[in-house]
Amino acid sequence: MAERHVKVGIVGAGPAGLLLSHLLHLAGISSIVIEARSRAHIEGRIRAGVLEQGTVDVLRETGVGTRMDAEGLLHHGTILKFAGEARRIDFQDLVGKSVMVYGQHEVVKDLVAARLAAGGEIVFEVADTRIEGIEGSEPKIHYTHEGRARTIACDFVAGCDGFHGISRAAIPADVLRVYERVYPFGWLGILARTPPASEELIYARHDRGFALLSMRSPEISRLYLQCPPDEDVALWPDERIWEELQVRLAGGEGWRLEEGEIVQKGVTAMRSFVAEPMRHGRLFLAGDAAHIVPPTGAKGMNLAVGDVQVLARALEIYYASGRERALEAYSDTCLRRIWAVQRFSWWMTQMLHTFDDASAFDRRRQLAELDYVTTSRAAMTTLAENYVGLPLDRGPQ
């Protein structure tokens, strides 16, 4: 069995694992990333791509933002549609910040390229991964690659392998606390070859269900419809999708979507999930391995980026000085922000979606809330400061 030693073993080559490896490299801390999927798979899977100001800043500051700045779409606000009206929230005016629309898979491509160019090691297509010894001084990650059993011995393990990964299961069940809410709807998402009908995202509340107009480029639109969480995509031929989008996104004189070829469609169920603590022994969870948010607030990848910035800084302090206070505070530091973002994502979700058991009172209250949020400067500021990203607390220094 081949065994190697690095300071940090990272399970998962999503944005969390890759950015953590990149940040550690810049701090002179060795790491290896292992990933169950192929490079083509992780670089090709389409995920949401609204980057908070803080995420944009860290990508720029660490040298992986060049393509993002060239190809990303900078948004200074967003639009809420309801009751036949469109109302804009101006982020720049309210909080002086913006967001960037740039696909998560594009971020992954940039991070993979940066790690490989710097001589970093990413081992793709591993199997039979397991973690042991996290309560000792030298945990190990065992896996097979190209038919051979291999082991990484390390000082610390970072579990960045997503909601369905193996890292969270390495924490004893009597230690882990799980908080979860499953929503009674999902999103039918499509990718279409048609220019976006708006320069900014449109969030639409309609009696027939929520809809969202997003984009991937000036030529490609990303659109979503609220639907049952277990909906059969076969029930949604292209014609029905476009008809429903036209109805739900209507608002404003003469406004209409330009329809085009739908090249991808799928249904995503929605949940809120938090696992506490995010550290046990020498294992640290980051990103979707520790938390899931409904996509309404566009926070999933941004939370992961926040986690690994906190973790990378704590590890940098540890290796520079031997102080463990920041590592010990990692879980609490991250969870404060995570729960604040969970609140915002839940709030956006309940405000914009229709619920089957909603009464006439609930529907009128929902419209009143949207009216208030889009007319009160204080309320708009609250939405804007959460949407562009709350300040990141890096914990004890």
pLDDT one-digit tens code per residue, 110-139: 999 999 999 999 999 999 999 999 999 999
Residue at 348 is within a domain: yes
Residue at 393 is within a domain: no
Same domain, 16 and 119: yes
What pLDDT shows up at residue 371? 98
CA distance 140 to 148: 16
Last residue of a domain, one of 220, 248, 270: 270
Answer yes or no: is pLDDT of 82 > 80. Answer: yes
DSSP code, position 48 = -
Same domain, 125 and 206: no
Same domain, 126 and 136: yes
What pLDDT shows up at residue 312? 98
Same domain, 30 and 165: yes
What pLDDT shows up at residue 292? 97
CATH number at residue 298: 3.50.50.60
What pLDDT shows up at residue 46? 77
Last residue of a domain, one of 222, 250, 270: 270
pLDDT in tens, 317-327: 999 999 999 99
Same domain, 113 and 193: no
**DSSP E strand boundaries for the chain:** 2-11, 31-34, 50-51, 73-75, 77-82, 85-90, 99-101, 121-123, 127-132, 140-145, 148-159, 177-193, 202-204, 211-215, 221-227, 261-276, 279-280, 283-285, 291-292
Total number of domains constituting the chain: 2
Answer yes or no: is pLDDT of 162 > 60. Answer: yes
pLDDT in tens, 256-277: 899 999 999 999 999 999 999 9
Same domain, 166 and 221: no
pLDDT in tens, 12-59: 999 999 999 999 999 999 999 999 999 999 999 877 689 999 999 999
With H, G, I as helix, E, B as strand and everything else as coil, classify residue 140.
strand
What pLDDT shows up at residue 65? 97
Catalytic residue list: 75, 203, 295, 299, 387
pLDDT in tens, 177-191: 999 999 999 999 999
CATH number at residue 228: 3.30.9.10
What pLDDT shows up at residue 47? 76
What pLDDT shows up at residue 252? 60
Same domain, 21 and 68: yes
Same domain, 128 and 219: no
The stretch 279-292 carries a mean pLDDT of 98
What pLDDT shows up at residue 253? 60
pLDDT in tens, 211-253: 999 998 899 999 999 999 999 999 999 999 999 999 999 866 6
Peptide bond into 277 cis (omega under 30): yes
Same domain, 259 and 276: no
Domain of 236? 182-270
Same domain, 231 and 176: no
Same domain, 306 and 372: yes
Question: Greater confidence, 86 or 47?
Answer: 86
Same domain, 161 and 65: yes
